[in-house]
Amino acid sequence: MNSELIPPGVKLSNSDDVSIIDIEDAPCVKKSAEKVVDEARKNFNTNKTKSFSFRQRQLKNLIRFLSEEENALCDALYKDLKKPAFEAITHEVAIALRDAEETLNNLKNWMKPEQPEKTIVNYFDKLYIYNDPYGVVLVMGAWNFPVFATLLPKYIDKHCYPVFLGGIEETTELLKQRFDYIFFTGSPQVGKIIHQAASKHLTPTTLELGGKSPVYIDSTADLELAAKRIIWGKIQNSGQVCVAPDYILCNTKTTTDYGRIINQRHFNRLTEMLKNQKIALGGHSDPNSLFIHPTILVDVNPNDPVMQDEIFGPILPIVNIQNMNEAINFINDREKPLVLYIFTNDKVVKETFLERTSSGGVTINDTIMHIAAEGLPFGGVGNS
């Protein structure tokens, strides 16, 4: 994360001790990982973070910041990531604001002790469940949604919520410290490293890892609708979304055209994937601007490099399969995806995929929209 993400001029109009994420000004950047974690634990042990008033104040400050500095955040995201203002607001600022407001509105109720049902053995006893904070938590945020995944918890008391910026060396040192919980968003490869480091202290973890999310299209699908929704799902955040459609399984004799996508990231890695591939659309690139034209690949071999890891970019491979059973076997022969997309109007096809495949989520005749349903859980299975 670089210092342009939050402009030096962005300030909060409140009296709290606030942590602004700027490499030049961040107070914890020059401290060792051990000292940062030690100070965070000392502050947690004062118990000041557990009170309703403290939590309420932090949430109100966060809401004020997101509301008053929306334009500054959008400008920073465009400067840093070329993210359009509409996408910055809807995908980052608005989501963080909604979550903060929901938490504030429910905070008092969530903090109340729960009273479980009694049995005849303890009918006359008083039973309570108290929800305690884990303690010192390490949140390793994703680069692709800096406000949503990284900045959201950082504009509050800097002594209780320190910011630690760095690369592989700094992260390695950070993982040597003892935490009470670790939340990581990133690749399965790095997730395994995080999990191994956490196991040394028996630290519980949440690993949101992503993976290759397949799209299956059968002959009963509305092809025009499918094309629009697949493209929409692929272009969100320039294709840099963990639940973006990764590849298509279909019979190319009946489905041949899928529209356009857009992206800019990891230019060398992505262009390497295009070598020796049959390009049906796009394929052009500009190394000066790191722009890669939306690209559709056909006749893709399952063993090709583009099919081995999550693409996270504007490349959409199409693997030719003959029928539903072949598609299901193809999916089941690989790591379980974060999400599975199915385009069909056949009830039997829908039920068969639900029964015979395993994934973090399933969306039928659409893409990505399942994450907007607040009542649904979100997460992966196994490698995702």
Catalytic residue annotation: 208
Structure tokens at 255: 């489905």
The residue assigned the tokens 């659309």 is 281
Count the Cβ atoms, other than its own, within 10 Å of residue 287: 10
Structure tokens at 162: 């320190």
Instruction: Judge whether 317 and 234 are in contact, CB under 8 Å.
Output: no
* CA 296/CA 239 separation, integer angstroms: 13
DSSP 29-89: TTS-HHHHHHHHHHHHTTTGGGSHHHHHHHHHHHHHHHHHTHHHHHHHHHHHH---HHHHI
3-state helix, strand, coil in the chain (%, to 5): 40, 15, 45
Structure tokens at 309: 């890891």
Question: Which ranges of the chain does DSSP label H, i.e. alpha helix?
Answer: 33-44, 52-68, 70-81, 85-88, 94-111, 168-174, 188-199, 223-235, 267-273, 324-332, 347-356
